[in-house]
Structure 1
Amino acid sequence: MNLYFRLFWLFAWRLRHISPIGFLDTSRMAYRVWPTDCDINLHLTNARYPALMDIGRTYMLAEMLQLKPLLKLKWLPVVNASEFTFIKDIKPLQKFCLETRVLGWDDKYFYIEQRFVSERGLHAIANVRGLFVCKGRKISSAELISQVGFSGAEPELPSSVAEWKTMLQRKKDENSHNS
């Protein structure tokens, strides 16, 4: 239930008070771990990370001033794959920041890094691969880049993300006979 409250807060309050960022800049959103976010180990439950990341990516689009235009076009973001590395727990009532940024893209997908950070340091880092769809059609990265008006150089993906991308393709190839 508190995720609905956080989503409502994002749309009703936070989006009215954003500071615009560039397409490759880092978006930062502050959170606090509520008791309802915790598991039996009394820390932020692993299931909460992806839900908070969804809100973080939505907020990043809003800070880029792209959320409303993309929704008007009916372009909806879809996660294709994600991977997490948990480093240290986040305790109940602890404040932390979710940092979200676009790492790069290929013809089809965007690669986004999301980091959970507090005064205690880095807690978790996740990579997300996603794309936009509209009425069943996949929006190419080139089309999205054109729509958002980004004219800078395409960044090179970090080697760990390039390796992850290769592993995802290998996984798809190895399991293509099962589909």
Structure 2
Amino acid sequence: MNLYFRLFWLFVWRMRNISSIGFLETSRMAHRVWPSDCDINMHLTNARYPALMDLGRTYMLAEMGQLKPLLKLKWLPVVNASEFTFIKDIKPLQPFHLDTRVLGWDDKYFYIEQRFVSERGLHAIANVRGLFVCKGRKISSQELVAQVGFDGVMPQLPAAVEEWKLMLQRKKAENL
């Protein structure tokens, strides 16, 4: 239930007081761990990370000034794959922020990094691979980049992300 409250808070309050970032800049969204976010170990449960990341990616699009235009086109974001590295727990009531940024893209997918950080340091880092769809059609990365008006140089993906891409290709090939 508290994620609905956070989503409501995002659309009603944060969207009115939003900063503006460029396409490759980092979005930062502040949070606090609520008791209902915790598991039996009394820390942020692993299941909550992906839900918070969804909010972070939505907030990033809003900060880029792209949320409304993309929704108007009915281009909807879809996560294809994600991977997490948990470093240290986040305790109840502890404030933290979620940093979200576009790492780069290929012909089909965008690669996004999301970091959970507090005054205690880095807690978790995740990479997400996704794309946009509209009425069953996959929107190419080139279409999206043109739509958002980015005309800079495409960044090179980090080596770890390239390795992850290869692993995902192998996994798909082995299971078809």
TM range (shorter): over 0.9
* CA positional deviation for 1:95: 0.2
Return the TM-score normalized by structure 1.
Answer: 0.98
Structure 2 CA distance, aligned partners of 1:98 and 1:143? Answer: 27
Structure 2 CA distance, aligned partners of 1:100 and 1:165? Answer: 19
Structure 2 CA distance, aligned partners of 1:85 and 1:19? Answer: 28
* Aligned residue number for residue 119 of structure 2: 119
**Residues 146-177 of structure 1, C-alpha deviation per residue, up to 9 Å, x if partnerless?**
0000000000000000000000001001111x
* Aligned residue number for residue 130 of structure 2: 130
Q: How does 1:2-21 map to 2 (within 5 A)?
A: 2-21=2-21
**RMSD value over aligned CA atoms?**
0.3
Identical positions, percent: 85
The residue matched to 2:142 in structure 1 has which SS? helix
The residue matched to 1:155 in structure 2 has which SS? coil
* Aligned residue number for residue 30 of structure 1: 30
Structure 2 CA distance, aligned partners of 1:149 and 1:164? Answer: 28
* CA positional deviation for 1:40: 0.1
Q: How does 1:92-171 map to 2 (within 5 A)?
A: 92-171=92-171
* CA positional deviation for 1:133: 0.1
Structure 2 CA distance, aligned partners of 1:84 and 1:71? Answer: 28
Is there any run of 5+ residues in structure 2 with no aligned partner, and where?
Answer: none
* Aligned residue number for residue 79 of structure 1: 79
User: Which aligned segments of 4 or more residues in structure 1 are displaced greater than 6 angstroms?
Assistant: none
* CA positional deviation for 1:81: 0.1
Structure 1 CA distance, aligned partners of 2:165 and 2:100? Answer: 19
* Aligned residue number for residue 64 of structure 1: 64
Structure 1 CA distance, aligned partners of 2:21 and 2:42? Answer: 35
Return the TM-score normalized by structure 2.
Answer: 1.00
How many pairs were matched up? 176
